[in-house]
Amino acid sequence: MSPSGVGFHFKIQKEVTVEEDLKIRALLWDHADRLVYALKKWALNKKEEYVDLVFDEKNEGIERHLPLDEILKPREKEVKTINELLDKGENEKADEAIKKLAKAVEPQVTGYKRPCFVGCIAFKGDDIREPLEKICTGIAEKDSTFSWKLYPCWFPEFDWILAVFADDKQRAWKRITWLKNRAKQDDTLILKDADTRLFVKERTST
């Protein structure tokens, strides 16, 4: 489990080239931003060997070993069936079997996860984005528990989403409502009267 307690780190003991590394990670749905940084690092130095961006420790968390061998041992028959389907090229059937197996072992995996919620504020305009970035950067410098990111928004009526992460749903909600009602630039509230959409959701791995 990653330090966040949400995602997973696959550590594959195999010597590969940088090109093979990038291809494998892309096929395993590694985060696009991680792949971009890895590609840039490689482009700047063709002799670069270390392009993986994985943290053993992050946000006061430490990655934890997930004993997949133990979890899957009682289900060796199902794993064997999946491998046979993949060998035959029956990918759709294999995908369904994997989903079924994942659902079956989910209760055992849940014990290794940490709760993580993200409070979101969708808004429009760079005139809000720029001061909001400064405010969040300032808060994070004073409070190590304040974790945030800005993303382009998928809602057509908004441009940006501010995401604030917390280990508790109520804390995530309190933080985004504080920003909505109290965030200021030069004594002017920047979100109070702006058209926004606020919501909190639990973070899950994909």
Phi-psi region of 75 (alpha: psi -120 to 50; beta: other; left: phi over 0): alpha
> pLDDT value at position 1?
86
> pLDDT value at position 152?
95
Per-residue pLDDT of the chain (206 residues), as tens digits, is 888 778 888 887 888 888 998 999 899 888 888 899 999 999 999 888 778 777 777 767 788 888 989 999 999 999 999 999 999 999 999 999 999 999 999 898 888 888 889 999 999 999 999 999 999 999 999 998 899 999 999 899 999 999 999 989 999 999 999 999 999 988 899 999 999 999 999 987 65
The answer, as to whether pTM is greater than 0.75, is no
DSSP 56: S
Distance of alpha carbon 163 from alpha carbon 146, whole angstroms: 11
Domain 117-202: CATH class, spelled out: alpha beta
Residues 6 or more apart in contact with residue 172 via CB below 8 angstroms: 117, 118, 119, 164, 165, 166, 200
In sequence order, what are the beta bridge partners of 18? none
Residues 6 or more apart in contact with residue 182 via CB below 8 angstroms: 189
> pLDDT value at position 31?
83
